[in-house]
Structure 1
Amino acid sequence: YHSMNKNDDFEKLLDNLPLFVQQILKKHSQKEKLLEVILDLGRRPEARFAKGSEYLSRKVMSWQDLDFTLKRIGKFDNDNRAGIERTLHRISCIRNRQSMINGLTCRIGRAVFGTICIIRDLLELNQSVLILGQPGRGKTTIIREIARILSDEMHKRVIIVDTSNEIAGNSDIPHSGIGRSRRLQVPKTELQYQIMLEAVE
């Protein structure tokens, strides 16, 4: 088994946030436990952790602050999600009635190696596994680690149908967190079933 080893490319996310938010988060004592950063127009930036949230500044987000981040991240898909190239971070947006983006949720994506010891026996028995949990509790991280274990250690052929690029990242090159697994991206959510058929054929 791998010991717990975390890879979250935190600096790559920080580099895309407004400068005043970057400065605060770089020094934050709980940055290792950060789940999300909320950037809403006219509101104070907020950090969300597993055990609560806090405002990061007295300064409220302006159009310029949002624009700073929007210019640095990838385009938003039709499901209002984007990512940062070669990372697991996911960014979703909210829009006003004119379809202008007026809020961002920046979720920290982490590859944590060694997290599935408790269900490894199920993988070895070829049992089905259902993973349930609240947002931000590590479901995607576990799926990523399962894919890595199956492909690298159990030498299985693994294809991931990655609907919104949250398992293998927002890049044409899949994140190393999935090991030797291969990934099929889904161009539009409504085409997911076709991609799933393609994966099993």
Structure 2
Amino acid sequence: MNQIQDELKQRSDLQAREDLQTLLSILPAHIRQELEQNGRQDQLLEIVMDLGRTPSARYVDGEVVLSNVEVTAEEIATVEANIGDFDDDNRA
């Protein structure tokens, strides 16, 4: 890679890390702590929080349950209020 490509990749990587930290900061504590402790943020594809189901994280190599505590309406409302709009398939 040339210097410009290297710099763009570094900026992109930094922005992705910052975006992930912002997302983690609005998640319920029990979900955030599990994501932080497992050390796989660089492989994270999505976080699934369905009402009345256990939260999970989808990684490049599979899915992991993040907590045995079911997701509540209040948790979803809090995350939604801080993330913004969702599209037709409930993804932010």
Please give the TM-score of this superposition, normalised by the length of structure 1. 0.37
Q: Which residue of 2 aligns with 1:59?
A: 69
Q: Which residue of 2 aligns with 1:45?
A: 55
Secondary structure at the residue paired with 1:71? Answer: helix
- Residue 72 of structure 1 is aligned with which of 76, 82, 91? 82
User: Unaligned 5+ residue runs, structure 2?
Assistant: none
The alpha-carbon deviation at position 75 of structure 1 amounts to 3.2
Q: Which residue of 1 aligns with 2:23?
A: 13
User: Unaligned 5+ residue runs, structure 1?
Assistant: 81-91, 94-104, 107-201
Provide the rounded CA distance (Å) in 2 between the counterparts of 1:20 and 1:68: 14
Moved over 2 A (4+): 2-5
- Share of identical aligned residues, percent? 28
Q: Which residue of 2 aligns with 1:129?
A: none
The alpha-carbon deviation at position 72 of structure 1 amounts to 1.1
Provide the rounded CA distance (Å) in 2 between the counterparts of 1:22 and 1:33: 15
The alpha-carbon deviation at position 44 of structure 1 amounts to 0.7
Provide the rounded CA distance (Å) in 1 between the counterparts of 2:39 and 2:85: 31
Secondary structure at the residue paired with 1:59? Answer: coil
Aligned AA (1:27) = Q
Matches within 5 A, 1:136-175: none
Provide the rounded CA distance (Å) in 1 between the counterparts of 2:84 and 2:47: 17
Aligned AA (2:82) = R
RMSD: 1.8
Provide the rounded CA distance (Å) in 2 between the counterparts of 1:16 and 1:57: 16
CA contact (8 A) 1:18 1:66 kept: no
Q: What's the CA shift string for 1:104-139, capped at 9, x where partnerless?
A: x46xxxxxxxxxxxxxxxxxxxxxxxxxxxxxxxxx
Provide the rounded CA distance (Å) in 1 between the counterparts of 2:33 and 2:78: 15
More helix by share: 2
Aligned AA (1:51) = D
Over alpha carbons, which structure has the higher Rg? 1
Provide the rounded CA distance (Å) in 1 between the counterparts of 2:36 and 2:74: 21
Provide the rounded CA distance (Å) in 2 between the counterparts of 1:35 and 1:75: 19
The alpha-carbon deviation at position 16 of structure 1 amounts to 2.2
Provide the rounded CA distance (Å) in 2 between the counterparts of 1:37 and 1:73: 13
Aligned AA (1:36) = E
Provide the rounded CA distance (Å) in 1 between the counterparts of 2:55 and 2:64: 9
